[in-house]
Amino acid sequence: MINEVLRKYSRHVEFIGDEIKDVAQIGAFGSQVLHLASFANCCDDIEELVQAGADVNAIGDLGLRPLHYAVLAGNSEAIHLLLLKGADVRAENEFGETPMQMAHILGQAGIENLLLEAGGQSAYGFDGGATAKERWLAFKSIQEGNFWTD
Is residue 84 in some structural domain? yes
CATH of the domain at 136: 1.25.40.20
Q: At what angle do helices 2-9 and 33-40 cross, to 10 degrees?
A: 80
* Distance between CA atoms of residues 38 and 49, nearest Å: 11
Is residue 13 in some structural domain? yes
- DSSP helix, strand, coil percent of the chain (3-state; round to 5): 55, 0, 45
Domain coverage including residue 40: 2-145
Q: If residue 144 lies in a helix (H) or strand (E), which one and from where to where?
A: helix 129-146
Coil vs helix vs strand at 81: helix
In this predicted structure, which of 57-61, 92-96, 126-130 has the lowest mean pLDDT?
Answer: 126-130
Residue 23: C-alpha distances to residues 7, 17, 38 (Å): 11, 17, 14
CB atoms within 10 A of CB 3: 11
Mean pLDDT to the nearest integer, 119-138: 78
> For residue 149, what pLDDT band results from cuts at 50, 70 and 90?
low
Longest Cα–Cα distance of the chain, Å, equals 45
Is residue 150 in some structural domain? no
Give per-residue pLDDT as tens, 16-32.
Answer: 888 999 999 999 999 99
Mean pLDDT to the nearest integer, 48-63: 98
Is residue 43 in some structural domain? yes
* Distance between CA atoms of residues 46 and 54, nearest Å: 9
Mean pLDDT to the nearest integer, 79-98: 96
- Distance of alpha carbon 99 from the chain centroid: 9
Alpha helical stretches, state H, 10-128: 33-40, 43-51, 66-73, 76-84, 99-105, 109-117
Is residue 78 in some structural domain? yes
The C-alpha R_g of the chain, in whole angstroms, comes to 15
> For residue 130, what pLDDT band results from cuts at 50, 70 and 90?
confident
> For residue 134, what pLDDT band results from cuts at 50, 70 and 90?
confident
Give per-residue pLDDT as tens, 96-117.
Answer: 999 999 999 899 999 998 999 8
Verdict on whether the full-model pTM lies above 0.85: yes
Number of domains present in the structure of the chain: 1
